[in-house]
Amino acid sequence: MTATLMAASLRAALADLLLTMADDEFVIGFSDSEWTGIAPILEEDVAISSIAQDELGHARALYELLAGLLDDGRDADAIAFDRAPEAYRHARLLDHGRGDWAMTMARRFLYDTGDTARLEAIGEGWAPLAELVAKIRREERYHVMHMELWARRLAGAGGEARSRFVAALEDLAPDAPSVLAAAPDEAALLAAGILVRPMAETGAAWRQGVTRILGPLGINLDLESDAAPRTRRAPSADFRWLWGEFTSVRRSEVGATW
Amino acid sequence: MVTELPTRAVPAPDEAMVRAILRTIADPEIPSVSIVDLGMVERVEVGSLGIDVELLPTFIGCPAQELIRELVIEALGSLGLPISVAFTFRVPWTSERITEQGREHLAAAGFAPPAEPGEVRCPYCGSSKVAMDSAFGPTQCRSLFYCPACRQPFEAFKPV
């Protein structure tokens, strides 16, 4: 199906899906990139920077797809940077700041497992997204492997490492299902084959996957999805600060080509 | 009076000619390996109105993409036709796309070609008893390894 032949309602649902996926990748990518130079060990400094760079690349590619679909004169940069903090659609999970290392690892673990489940739910209905997702999956495989490693390492270490990691997971758990909150007009996306299963089903698969990893580590989280909307009505102070950071260059010289 | 038609100094470019030029463009980070041997060139089309080149990014967020695009436009500029270079995800780049020659050139430059972690060989001494230090290296496409046999750290391409 080409974008021009798409019904307006389907196009709006697809645009919302692209924006939520792009904003998620952009916010966690930018937030994690703050560890560059100050991560706990050198190898991890390289790893978290590389992962953040992957996520920003995915965000850019998704914003470019969205710019082409909307065709409203905005390019990927304009969509990424020229919105008020209230207009970002990232999940509530990512409204939490990066905190300490345990918090960053807990947030990444919950996000990467959720994102992987979401990528598996994208079908062939719109070729440009299906092609991009096929490529993204190959890269995300490394992120999930890395996060499982960290979950085992922190939980298995006992002492302060374990207690901080578990506390961070419990702190984030109520907001973790927001990554897989129902998409607006999900029925249209399902009918068009852009999604292959409802988000509720994807959420159930994600909870099973998380339990499979954390259960043997003696960590039990309550990850039942709630009825709260995907995005907070008012963004957190952490996100407002991050927004100030990632838009600062763009705002410093409006209209400049960098 | 007979008017002589102007003769072309160079023959009209064809696909083989374009590919031969692309073969001279090295990856900006690994000067010994061409973008052709890395498997990045997906499609070349030469028409009377211009030359279209379609490239596959190794990793989606690889910052070398813009540089490679400029290198391609510059290198094909001598052919006298408008050049269009596009990156596409229509076909995912995978490490299997690296040619045999590309693998040899990578190894000669001290990079292990892509393989599953258990199959990686030290590019210096050939030992199979190597250890992965980290899945993430200095660029998105490489991992960090160490070879206890020759005590040499090295980088291996990630299999994707």
Span B106-110, average pLDDT? 92
In this prediction, residue A229 carries a pLDDT of 82
- Within 8 A of B90 by CB-CB distance, chain A residues are 131
Span B91-108, average pLDDT? 93
Cβ–Cβ contact B89 with A under 8 A: yes
**DSSP structural state of residue A181:** P
Contact B140 A146 (CB under 8 A): no
Give me A255's structure tokens. Answer: 């209209």
What is the predicted ipTM? 0.83
Cβ–Cβ contact A193 with B under 8 A: no
Cβ–Cβ contact B16 with A under 8 A: no
DSSP, collapsed to helix, strand or coil, labels residue A228 as coil
Whole-angstrom distance, CA of residue A221 vs CA of residue A174:
9
Residue B18 has pLDDT above 60, yes or no: yes
Average pLDDT, chain B: 91
Contact A163, A156 (CB under 8 A): no
Give me B47's structure tokens. Answer: 């028409």
In this prediction, residue B11 carries a pLDDT of 72
Whole-angstrom distance, CA of residue A76 vs CA of residue A100:
31
Q: Please indicate, yes or no, whether the overall pTM of this predicted structure exceeds 0.90.
A: yes
Cβ–Cβ contact A65 with B under 8 A: no
- Within 8 A of A77 by CB-CB distance, chain B residues are none
Nearest CA in chain B to A132: B89
Cβ–Cβ contact A201 with B under 8 A: no
Q: How far is A77 from chain B (nearest CA, A)?
A: 14
Cβ–Cβ contact B158 with A under 8 A: yes
In this prediction, residue B30 carries a pLDDT of 87
If phi > 0 it is left, if psi is from -120 to 50 it is alpha, else beta; for residue B75 that is: alpha
Cβ–Cβ contact A40 with B under 8 A: no
Residue B23 has pLDDT above 80, yes or no: yes
Contact B59 A47 (CB under 8 A): no
Mean pLDDT by 10 residues, chain A (258 residues): 80 97 98 97 95 97 97 96 97 96 98 97 97 95 94 97 98 96 94 97 96 97 84 92 96 86
DSSP, collapsed to helix, strand or coil, labels residue A233 as coil
Residue B1 has pLDDT above 90, yes or no: no
Closest partner CB to B59 (pick from A44, A139, A145): A139
Q: What is the DSSP string of chain B?
A: -PPPPPPPSSPPP-HHHHHHHHTTPEETTEEEEETTTTT-EEEEEE-SS-EEEEE--SSTT-TTHHHHHHHHHHHHGGG-S-EEEEE--SS---GGGS-HHHHHHHHHTTEEPS--GGG---TTT--S--EEEES--SSTTEEEEEETTTTEEEEEEPP-
Contact A46 B137 (CB under 8 A): yes
Residue B2 has pLDDT above 60, yes or no: no
The closest of B106, B137, B140, B136 to B124, measured between CA atoms, is: B106
Residue B57 has pLDDT above 90, yes or no: yes
